[in-house]
Amino acid sequence: MQIDDFADILRRHGISHGAGVPCSFFTPLVNHMMVDPELDYTSATSEGEAVAIAAGLTTAGKPAFALMQNSGLGNAVNPITSMLYIYSIPVTLLVSHRGEPGKPDEPQHALMGQITEALSKLCGLRTHVLDPARFADQLGAALGDGVPAAFICRKGTLKGGPEAPDLDLRFTTRATAPANTGTFRAELRREQALDAAREVLNHGLEGAGQSDAAIPAVICTTGKLSRELYELDDTDFSKKNRFYMVGSMGCAAGFGLGVAHAQPSRPAIVLDGDGALLMKLGSLATVGSIAPSNYHHVVFDNGAHDSTGGQPTASPAVDFATAALACGYRYAETVSNRDAFVDALSRQVTMEGPTLLRMIIHTGARKDLGRPKLDPRDGYLRFAAFLGGRPWSAEK
């Protein structure tokens, strides 16, 4: 299938964005996207992150695909099963088929080559082998039904495309220093810090005359952070600008990047945990390379996987603020008390992003902390409706 025809089908179905980690089978597509002004490609640091970015874009009204080698399908299993499947987000996966049975290939592809199609189906993806004659209809059907789908692409299926453009790369070193340095000790628990953040997170939700675009999109990482924020003020289902991630640990940063990229005039605030950020630390680099000015990253750092019992993480050894600046964030700082946190958060959301705010907190949560009564899918649809970007059927 000539890549121009393939790209045309994507375009006709409203797909203008893709994120991925490439396979040589997709060279025609990636090269094409690098020169086609109507198709935008984000180079992700892992296939799971690519799925998260594509999911954020799709949710915010820019239907997107995630592209990967089938070896990377293994890296994406959790975001597919815990995010695309749970929320039924119609992201299109393009998965190459290395190690196709009966075709000579390298040993590392042998087993994955045998199980690719079955694994994709087991993950709940509507799975097709990419057939040029049927691609348009199958893509249209998946998007129309609002379900995630995978197209398995065999060697040579996609053809043509330009040569890769010459990259005029300049590698710049920076003397990076965050706004403040020092030693920080926690004063608040996560729930107290979240309580202090609410005015910024809820900005514009109440009160007449606020432009809808000024209301931030708030993306919350998995675990107790989401549960606490929900219990603080959303049990009445009033915080339409929030998305509580269940599972998909590490994917809030990538999902938020997709949202920020799709809706550049709306602030996107990602509430992350240290464990989750460390799981997909590459997201700092992806965010820094795209550098959306509306992206604001807040890391609630208790040095632990608090939600699973307080097991330590590597975060005390990691200066997230310096790391973010080194990755291309425009501003970053660390705080540890309530006043400094509120001040920094209020300032950062008005600054040109990406920004990162590391809030040092204690471990621990209320013993009687509940679980959201909000069904994950309903919560997701609320958020997608708030973003106005749901071009697919609301029914599963």
Contact positions vs ligand TPP (CB under 6 A): 78, 190, 221-225, 247, 249, 273-276, 302, 304-308, 313
| Nearest by Cα to 215 from 204, 224, 206 | 204
CB 284 within 8 A of CB 324: yes
Nearer to ligand TPP, 66 or 83 (CB): 83
At 388 the three-state DSSP class reads coil
Q: How far is CA 252 from the centre of its chain?
A: 5
Task: Considering the complex, state which of residue 49 and residue 274 has its C-beta at the smaller distance from ligand TPP.
Answer: 274
Type of residue numbered 236: D
- Maximum CA pair distance of the chain? 65
Task: Quote the least distance from Cβ 379 to ligand TPP, whole Å.
Answer: 17
Closest contact distance (angstroms) between CB of 308 and ligand TPP is 4
**Among candidate residues 23, 26, 29, 79, the one with its CA nearest the CA of residue 55:** 79
Quick one: tokens of 118?
Answer: 């079955």
What is the distance of C-alpha 309 from the center of its chain?
25
Yes or no: say if 177 and 322 are a contact pair by the CB < 8 Å rule: yes
Nearest to 42 by CA among 4, 23, 16, 61: 16
At closest approach, how far in Å is the CB of 309 from ligand TPP? 9
Q: Look-up: residue for tokens 């691609």?
A: 135
Cβ-based nearer residue to ligand TPP, 221 or 336: 221
DSSP 8-state code for residue 317: G
Nearest distance from residue 228's CB to ligand TPP, in Å?
9
**Residue 70 CB, nearest approach to ligand TPP (Å):** 20
> DSSP code of 171?
-
Considering the complex, state which of residue 105 and residue 195 has its C-beta at the smaller distance from ligand TPP. 195
* Rounded CA separation 377/375 (Å): 6
Block residue for tokens 């290939």: 105
Smaller CB separation from ligand TPP, 186 or 262: 186
CB of 273 to ligand TPP, least distance (A): 2
CB of 253 to ligand TPP, least distance (A): 11
Specify the residue, 36 or 301, whose C-beta has the smaller distance to ligand TPP.
301
Q: Quick one: 142 or 252, whose CB is closer to ligand TPP?
A: 252
